[in-house]
């Protein structure tokens, strides 16, 4: 009887050890194949979320300095948000929204028209024009500041609406900056739409305008949403051109106006600045969430070589 008991216990111990070994092996294999991805994702999330959390903490801190906000949420107050009502913050936000929305709509329409022409028509200089657009995008916009300044100086004497301190002038300048990059992105997406659709519509008597607006335009909605979002974000946060062209405080954009709060190191009000930054990020966040389902599909399909 004792011999059987010893044998049974020995057998149980011998079967338990391989089970633990297999469990450790499975855990190592899981970490090598999958687990490290979760660890890497956690590091990325922390790296991306910490500036947002710190900004929100500084916005809720009533002392108005970043040094006083070193302890996250050590003091919580909405005084900075309430103080925005005593400034021209909402006027600046309205200007930014007007300029960004107008630039987004215009860049979508112009980019889509140019991409349709390059994708569907075969004309002399087509390849050279595409190459020219690509080469122009390689040069930073800062190189054109002097030319823009002189151009607005001359136009302002004839048409004041296209001179300095005009939102229309800023919008027109932005049009020229976003057209090239958007045309290439839209061109790649337009090439994924079968040309047989155009040919069938032409047989039925449709014109190029009808084909573009009624057939092609609805089919390329994902990339149009992506272009609109990128144009909106780029112009909403742009500073240099707005700072040069818009000279009046009532015409300033959000980026230009908020810069004045922190431009002087001795009197910088970072609490007011971070509070404005938190509210100013809401339009971009809302637009991104609304267009989220188009973003991935639009960017991947637009990357197809034409």
**Looking at 77, 96, 116, which one is the last position of a domain?**
77
Could you tell me if 33 and 157 lie in one domain? no
**Looking at 23, 48, 77, which one is the last position of a domain?**
77
Distance of CA 58 to the CA centre of its chain: 24
Could you tell me if 65 and 10 lie in one domain? yes
Distance CA 28, CA 259 (A): 52
Residue 142 lies in a domain: yes
Q: What is the pLDDT of residues 151-173, one digit of tens each?
A: 888 888 888 888 888 889 899 88
Distance CA 285, CA 221 (A): 20
**Looking at 55, 77, 99, which one is the last position of a domain?**
77
CATH number at residue 293: 1.10.3720.10
Residue 83 lies in a domain: no
**Whether 284 contacts 232, CB under 8 Å:** yes
Distance CA 53, CA 91 (A): 27
The confidence score (pLDDT) of residue 60 equals: 84
Residue 298 lies in a domain: yes
The confidence score (pLDDT) of residue 58 equals: 83
The confidence score (pLDDT) of residue 269 equals: 81
Could you tell me if 59 and 140 lie in one domain? no
Could you tell me if 6 and 117 lie in one domain? no
Residue 82 lies in a domain: no
10-residue averages of pLDDT along the chain (306 residues): 46 58 79 80 88 84 64 77 89 93 90 86 82 78 81 86 87 79 80 84 84 85 87 89 88 90 77 89 90 67 46
Residue 182 lies in a domain: yes
Question: Closest Cα to residue 92, out of 237, 232, 255, 233?
Answer: 255
Could you tell me if 64 and 211 lie in one domain? no
The confidence score (pLDDT) of residue 304 equals: 45
Could you tell me if 111 and 72 lie in one domain? no
Where in the sequence is the domain holding 19, given as residue range(s)? 2-77
Could you tell me if 216 and 131 lie in one domain? yes
Could you tell me if 185 and 248 lie in one domain? yes
């Amino acid at each position: 009887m004792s011999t059987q008991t010893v044998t049974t216990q020995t057998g149980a111990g011998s079967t338990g050890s391989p089970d633990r070994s297999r469990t450790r092996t499975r855990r190592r294999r899981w970490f090598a194949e999958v687990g490290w991805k979760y660890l890497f994702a956690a590091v990325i999330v922390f790296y991306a979320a910490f500036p947002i959390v710190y900004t929100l903490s500084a916005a809720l801190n009533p002392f108005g300095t970043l040094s006083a906000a070193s302890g996250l949420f050590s003091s919580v107050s909405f005084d900075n948000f309430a103080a925005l009502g005593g400034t021209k913050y909402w006027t600046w936000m309205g200007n930014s929204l007007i300029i960004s929305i107008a630039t987004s709509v215009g860049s979508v329409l112009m980019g889509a028209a140019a991409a349709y022409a390059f994708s569907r028509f075969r004309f002399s200089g087509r390849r050279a024009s595409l190459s020219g657009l690509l080469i122009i995008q390689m040069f930073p916009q800062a190189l054109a500041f002097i030319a823009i300044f002189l151009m607005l100086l001359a136009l302002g004497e004839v048409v004041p609406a296209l001179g300095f301190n005009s939102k229309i002038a800023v919008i027109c300048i932005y049009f020229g900056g976003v057209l090239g990059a958007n045309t290439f992105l839209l061109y790649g997406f337009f090439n994924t739409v079968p040309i047989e659709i155009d040919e069938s519509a032409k047989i039925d008597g449709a014109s190029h305008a009808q084909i573009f607006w009624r057939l092609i335009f609805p089919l390329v909605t994902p990339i149009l949403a992506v272009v609109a979002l990128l144009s909106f974000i780029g112009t909403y946060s742009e500073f240099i051109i707005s700072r040069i062209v818009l000279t009046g405080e009532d015409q300033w954009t959000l980026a230009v106006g908020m810069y004045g709060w922190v431009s002087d190191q001795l009197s910088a009000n970072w609490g007011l600045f971070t509070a404005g930054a938190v509210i100013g990020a809401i339009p971009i966040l809302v637009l991104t969430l609304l267009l989220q389902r188009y973003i991935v599909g639009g960017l991947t399909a637009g990357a197809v070589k034409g």
